[in-house]
């Protein structure tokens, strides 16, 4: 499914990226090339290939799952640009 100019503008809007009209055609070509490559990947036979986390064999590091600093709400909330009643305030992103 090729990407048209309207889709490029919609993606830019959703990503909050300013795109000039003269850049749309170039981005349209770039997105179509990326999607064509992804379609090619779908044709690769991966039957019997185990999923991997790295290109080199290694054991995943693990640690104990313990709370280390959650008992100080003032310190945690000091990272928030905006907060109210110990909750982060975030801008509305769904139209």
- pLDDT tens for the chain, residues 1 to 95: 789 999 999 999 999 999 999 999 999 999 999 999 999 998 999 999 888 878 888 887 888 888 777 778 888 888 888 988 888 998 888 87
Q: Kindly report the length of the chain.
A: 95
What confidence score (pLDDT) does residue 60 get? 79
CA distance 46 to 41: 10
CA distance 29 to 39: 15
What confidence score (pLDDT) does residue 40 get? 94
What confidence score (pLDDT) does residue 63 get? 87
Q: Look up residue 71 and give its two tokens.
A: 């008992």
Reported pTM: 0.52
What confidence score (pLDDT) does residue 74 get? 85
What confidence score (pLDDT) does residue 51 get? 86
CA distance 49 to 65: 31
Q: How far is CA 54 from the centre of its chain?
A: 20
Question: Looking at domain 5-41, does it have CATH number 1.10.20?
Answer: yes
What confidence score (pLDDT) does residue 19 get? 95
What confidence score (pLDDT) does residue 5 get? 95
């Amino acid at each position: 499914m090729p990407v048209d100019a309207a889709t490029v503008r919609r993606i830019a809007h959703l990503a909050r990226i300013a795109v000039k009209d003269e850049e749309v055609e170039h981005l349209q070509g770039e997105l179509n090339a990326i999607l064509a490559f992804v379609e090619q990947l779908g044709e690769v036979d991966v039957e019997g290939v185990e999923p991997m986390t790295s290109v080199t064999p290694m054991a995943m590091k693990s640690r104990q799952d313990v709370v280390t600093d959650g008992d100080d709400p003032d310190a945690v909330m000091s990272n928030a640009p905006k907060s109210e009643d110990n909750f982060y305030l975030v801008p509305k992103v769904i139209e």
